[in-house]
């Protein structure tokens, strides 16, 4: 059993070591640029604007953020391909893959291309070895 003095020293030592590790990891994480912001083009910006104005995050997640109604879209270009994404975005008819209704956006060719460029930029973000960032609640929604 530890005396009060030993317990206090153990607590303060452990707290100090943990704090120093936390500060070190924080400095390390700020030292890396994982977003490849130099690759942001006007098309990527327009795609992000379309993502926001159409409230895509109301149904989909991207980088683990958003709703869990529809599939996760991080690395969607790798999984589905550009042609599929453009076809989905440009279709004038709403459809229901796996019983979940997808809004018919009827985007123009340029708008669909801008969304694809936004998804490509997202796909290029360094995820530290994780293929996708997925909530456990969304795992069953991927690729559906």
pLDDT of residue 28: 83
Asked whether residue 117 falls in the same domain as residue 70, the answer is yes
Asked whether residue 50 falls in the same domain as residue 6, the answer is no
* pLDDT tens by residue, 32-46: 766 778 888 999 999
Asked whether residue 12 falls in the same domain as residue 27, the answer is yes
* pLDDT tens by residue, 45-104: 999 999 999 999 999 999 888 888 888 898 899 888 999 999 999 988 887 777 778 888
Number of domains in the chain: 2
Length of the chain counted residue by residue:
144
Range of the domain at 121: 34-141
Q: Which residues of 12-33 are buried (b: 16+ CB within 10 A; e: fewer)?
A: eeeeeeeeeeeeeeeeeeeeee
Residue 3, token pair as written in the block? 């005396």
């Amino acid at each position: 059993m530890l005396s009060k003095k030993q317990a206090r020293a153990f607590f303060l030592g452990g707290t100090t070591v943990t704090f120093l590790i936390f500060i070190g990891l924080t400095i390390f994480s700020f030292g890396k640029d994982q977003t490849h912001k130099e690759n942001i083009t006007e098309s990527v910006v327009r795609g992000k604007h379309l993502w926001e104005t159409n409230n895509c995050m109301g149904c989909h997640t991207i980088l683990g953020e958003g709703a869990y109604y529809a599939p996760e879209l991080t690395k969607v270009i790798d999984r589905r391909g550009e042609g599929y994404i453009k076809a989905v975005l440009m279709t004038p008819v709403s459809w229901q893959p796996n019983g979940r209704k997808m809004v018919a956006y009827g985007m123009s060719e340029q708008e669909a291309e801008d969304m694809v460029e936004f998804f490509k930029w997202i796909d290029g973000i360094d995820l530290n070895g994780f293929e996708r960032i997925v909530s456990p609640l969304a795992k069953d929604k991927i690729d559906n």
